[in-house]
Amino acid sequence: MHEPEFLTVPELADLLRIKERKVYDLAASGEVPCTRATGKLLFPSIAVRDWLEAHSSGHVVKTPRPPVVLGSHDPLLDWAIRESRCGLASYFDGSADGLARFNRREGVAAGLHLHDADGREWNIPSVARSSANQNAVLVRFATRARGLVLRRDLTGVSGMQDLAGRRVVPRQGGSGSDVLFRQLAAKAGLDAAALDLAEVARTETEAVQALSRGDADATLGLETVARDFGLPFVPLVEERFDLLVNRRAWFDTPMQRLMVFCQSEATLARAEKMGGYDLTGLGTVRWNA
């Protein structure tokens, strides 16, 4: 008999030989892998089988997630992690890298700004496709002003179409900035072959530093970093930067300390001073596994 892709509450209760109430308790605690569709709890068969195997010896064999924030580099988040003294470490190497590492249980959260291919939504389609079984929640962090950061003395650039023949600092493949750059270039009819690419930058700050040194003409960067270096900025999009957080870690002291600090007057003042941020709705849920 073909195994169904998902099990319902009664089916899982029958499989485990427990009452349905106990199934709801397991799902609420994050003990058993589950997802929610049209208001109903569903349990992926493959994930349930793996979960049963992990518990076959009578104890959970999964190691705890390390206290690391993964994903895309954001200057304000980077600052908040340090200033909050939350105890979390960081490993920022792009949205796609962070999402993959989060799904491999290499951290408790991941910062994301992944624009969907149809250009209508940020982050939710990506995490819904890859992280439905991760016992995770996607929460708002900030809306950020992103556009072209230019070399100090550069003129004649008002949009993506003006980058042809210019030396551009690219970001690593799979980063949210790289994904968005390719989308905007295609929309503007800009042929990638017409660009003179500089060395790849792996953080927002590193990309703009290259312009400050005069090593390149432009990069797709953040307004806040352009302001830090006193460089011209051409706004293009308002992007959403969210945090994908493990649901259990969300209630632990390090993550709670970080989020409380992020909603404090100190962080609001810092964001205002840095510029290019809108923190409206910080901490509210955008998607729930």
- Topology of domain 66-289, CATH: D-Maltodextrin-Binding Protein; domain 2 (3.40.190)
Work out the mean pLDDT of the chain and round it to a whole number.
90
Return the SS3 of 92. strand
Give per-residue pLDDT as tens, 99-129. 999 999 999 999 999 998 877 899 999 999 9
C-alpha torsion angle, residues 177, 178, 181, 187 (rounded to 10) = -120
Kindly give, in sequence order, each residue whose CB lies less than 8 Å from that of residue 26, ignoring residues fewer than 6 positions away: 32
Kindly give, in sequence order, each residue whose CB lies less than 8 Å from that of residue 55, ignoring residues fewer than 6 positions away: 61
Residue that the structure tokens 């992690």 belong to = 81
The average pLDDT across 52-57 equals: 63
Quick one: pLDDT at residue 154? 94
Quick one: pLDDT at residue 35? 78
Give per-residue pLDDT as tens, 163-187. 999 999 999 998 999 999 999 999 9
Distance CA 188, CA 177 (A): 16
Distances (CA, A) of 16 to 54, 113, 196: 14, 39, 60
Confidence of residue 50 (pLDDT cuts 50, 70, 90): low
Kindly give, in sequence order, each residue whose CB lies less than 8 Å from that of residue 132, ignoring residues fewer than 6 positions away: 35, 44, 289
pTM listed for this prediction: 0.78
Element (H, E) at 220: strand 218-222
Residue 84 has pLDDT above 90, yes or no: yes
Distance CA 124, CA 229 (A): 32
Confidence of residue 43 (pLDDT cuts 50, 70, 90): confident
Do 123 and 286 contact (CB within 8 A), yes or no? yes
